[in-house]
Amino acid sequence: MKMGKIRQLDESLANMIAAGEVVENMASVIKELLENALDAGAKNIDIHVANYGLKEIRVEDDGEGMDSEDLQLAFKRHATSKIRAHHDLHHIVTLGFRGEALPSIASVSALTIESSTGTTEGRRMTLKNGKVIEDRPAPPRRGTTILVKDLFYNTPARLKHLRSEQREFAAMVETVQHAALSHSAVRFSMQHNGQSVLNTTGRGDVLQVLHAIYDKHTVQHMRHFSGKNAYFSIEGYAGLPTLTRSTRKHITLVCNQRPIRNVAVSSTILDAYKSYLPIQKFPVVHLEIKTDPLLIDVNIHPQKQEIKLSEITSLKQLMLETFATMFKHEQLIPDVRKSPEPRFSHPKLSYQATSPHEAMPHVVEENDASNTQHDERASTDLNVEPSPKRRIRLPDFEYVGQALGTYLIFQNDEGLHLIDQHAAAERIRYEAYLQAMSRPSPTIRMLLLPLPISLGADEREAFRGQAASHLKHFGITIVEEDGQLALQEVPYWFPEGQEEHYTDQVMAAIQEGLTPDKATLLDKLAIDLACKHSIKANHHLTRSEIDRLMHDLDQTHNPFTCPHGRPVIIRLSIQELERFFKRVM
């Protein structure tokens, strides 16, 4: 009789396949074992690693442990104590719930487990390739110890394609750090080859955990924040904008005590720091989110780190408001000695003028007379309205002079203040342009004569598709006649003579898929316009121009940095001056 082609996989092979999703590397093993320990109610967890985790990984906890019967079931796929019915998936409060971790790890390693509830005799089992090779009694010590040796010994392809030992170990350390941050009331200890890597107290002090992970200097430059609305409560610590890193890995997210990854949440944090930090620099932030489990879905990825959040708009708004409140209470003028590379600003906000019809601030440019004349005309067309939201003001100080045709010097009771005139002008123009661009109904300027423009084949195709309506949304009208495209209408804030250049920028952004995020595109254009049409270095200003510059800067939402995140103003305190001149020791 002819046999069918489809076969039921044996349990050992099925577990190896599952391990390919659940156990990607040594960090995955650590993560799964820590989740089991935390779900068991452990208050003390010790991790011992040998040879970067390739030789062995041992995790000991003092959780509730397992009796002999439960231990036997623990290595069956989808055997779990954490859910009972399908509706439990909508209300997950444990870190693990699938029952895949232990059988998956055991299928690609030599695993030994010893566990006891503390009231009865314990059990010790050893498995290799998913098969039990030893099963005997163990002392009745409450808790569980799991030893994983020779990981991936039977999957050489996986072993071959692991990253360098140092990178794999760094991922393991990061996993333990995230667990410690999400469970600060649990004591964690991690050792590598007998050397201490991380120690936390388990006293519920997140700041102490941050200190254990980073250092005293980092913690001193972090500030506590908290906020709450109808759906979420958030809390955590955020680094001041002077505290930066070269990657975003120092942004840690926790939701209902689960370390998570979520693009929308991470992006919102970066938006909160927008223009505070230079390009390619990232903040240090630890954010904890608490919400109803019904609003989150953790069952979308084998490793349970990627999650989906309902009411995400509400969360993003809460985060932005909370971060803004935190920043407004901080001293945003860096001390020269303490912060040699100050990096901070304030999120982009609308420009505030002193009267509802005040024109865009006039900022002198270092250009020829015709360009300056044109810019004056364009500036007076930009009316900006005051906003009641502005809270940050410049300190009072007295003008001393201008240095190197670039820096304005002021003094007050705190010391000397130096202002970069180009950065100051950029901030003024950026906020003014942004408000003009962000109006729901853009003011249109019709060209006296349609301006012929040249588009590539792909751009023409995009224009004939949805691009035309997107352009119209920005106040740009392109007409086609006899196969020739011509620019007919533009927003009034497009500089005269540069209409085609900025239309090209908008078209490029549309083709790159930026159209749904109009704010991102407008921000980019505002930065570009502000940079090109502001005072340059080595340009000497008159006293009246300086007074106007400072008046306009003081009206901005954030007078302390330019849109690129560079400082507008720095301070040299009296104490620092006296130390420099050895007046005090």
Structure confidence by residue, pLDDT tens digits, 168-199: 899 999 999 999 999 999 999 999 999 999 99
Q: How confident is the model at residue 15 (pLDDT cuts 50, 70, 90)?
A: low
The reply to whether CATH 3.10.20.30 applies to domain 369-437+533-580 is no
Q: Is residue 208 predicted with pLDDT exceeding 70? A: yes
Contacts 24+ apart (CB under 8 A), 574-580: 574/413, 574/414, 574/415, 575/415, 576/335, 576/336, 576/337, 576/415, 577/415, 577/416
Q: Is residue 19 predicted with pLDDT exceeding 50? A: no
**Parts of the chain belonging to CATH 3.30.230.10:** 214-328
Assign 440 to helix, strand or coil: coil
**What integer pLDDT is reported at residue 138 of this predicted model?**
93
The dihedrals phi and psi of 295, each to the nearest 5 degrees, come to: -90, 0
Least confident range of 48-57, 179-188, 291-300, 485-494: 291-300
Q: How confident is the model at residue 324 (pLDDT cuts 50, 70, 90)?
A: confident
Q: Read off the pLDDT of each residue in 400-422 and give the average, rounded to a whole number.
A: 91
Q: Which residues contact 181 (CB under 8 A, 6 or more apart)?
A: 206, 209, 210, 213, 252, 254, 259, 286
**What integer pLDDT is reported at residue 333 of this predicted model?**
64
**Parts of the chain belonging to CATH 3.30.1540.20:** 369-437+533-580
The answer to whether the CB of 63 falls within 8 A of the CB of 40 is: yes
The answer to whether the CB of 326 falls within 8 A of the CB of 235 is: no
Q: Which residues contact 112 (CB under 8 A, 6 or more apart)?
A: 124, 125, 126, 127, 134, 146, 147, 149
Residue with the bigger pLDDT between 300 and 577: it is 577
Partners of 573 in the β-ladder: 415
Least confident range of 41-45, 85-89, 257-261: 85-89
**What integer pLDDT is reported at residue 281 of this predicted model?**
84
**What integer pLDDT is reported at residue 487 of this predicted model?**
87
- Look at the pTM and tell me if it is higher than 0.85: no
Share of the chain above pLDDT 90, in %: 34
Q: Which residues contact 136 (CB under 8 A, 6 or more apart)?
A: 123, 124
Q: Is residue 366 predicted with pLDDT exceeding 60? A: no
User: Measured at the alpha carbon of residue 171, what is the angle toward residues 170 and 177, in degrees to the nearest 5?
Assistant: 90
Q: Read off the pLDDT of each residue in 110-129 and give the average, rounded to a whole number.
A: 92
Architecture of domain 214-328: 2-Layer Sandwich (3.30)
The fourth-level CATH superfamily of domain 11-202 is Histidine kinase-like ATPase, C-terminal domain (3.30.565.10)
Q: Read off the pLDDT of each residue in 512-524 and give the average, rounded to a whole number.
A: 64
pLDDT tens-place string over residues 222-254: 999 999 999 999 999 999 888 888 888 999 999
**Parts of the chain belonging to CATH 3.30.1370.100:** 444-491+496-532
Query: Which DSSP string corresponds to 493-561?
Result: TSPTT-HHHHHHHHHHHHHTT-TT-HHHHHHHHHHHHHHHTSPPSS-PPPHHHHHHHHHHHHTSS-TTB
The reply to whether CATH 3.30.1370.100 applies to domain 444-491+496-532 is yes
**Parts of the chain belonging to CATH 3.30.565.10:** 11-202
What 8-state DSSP symbol labels residue 467?
I
Q: Is residue 100 predicted with pLDDT exceeding 50? A: yes
**What integer pLDDT is reported at residue 20 of this predicted model?**
45
d(CA 217, CA 287): 19
Out of 111-125, 148-162, 444-458, the most confident range is 111-125
Q: Read off the pLDDT of each residue in 134-161 and give the average, rounded to a whole number.
A: 87
**What integer pLDDT is reported at residue 304 of this predicted model?**
53
Q: Is residue 6 predicted with pLDDT exceeding 60? A: no
Q: How confident is the model at residue 49 (pLDDT cuts 50, 70, 90)?
A: very high
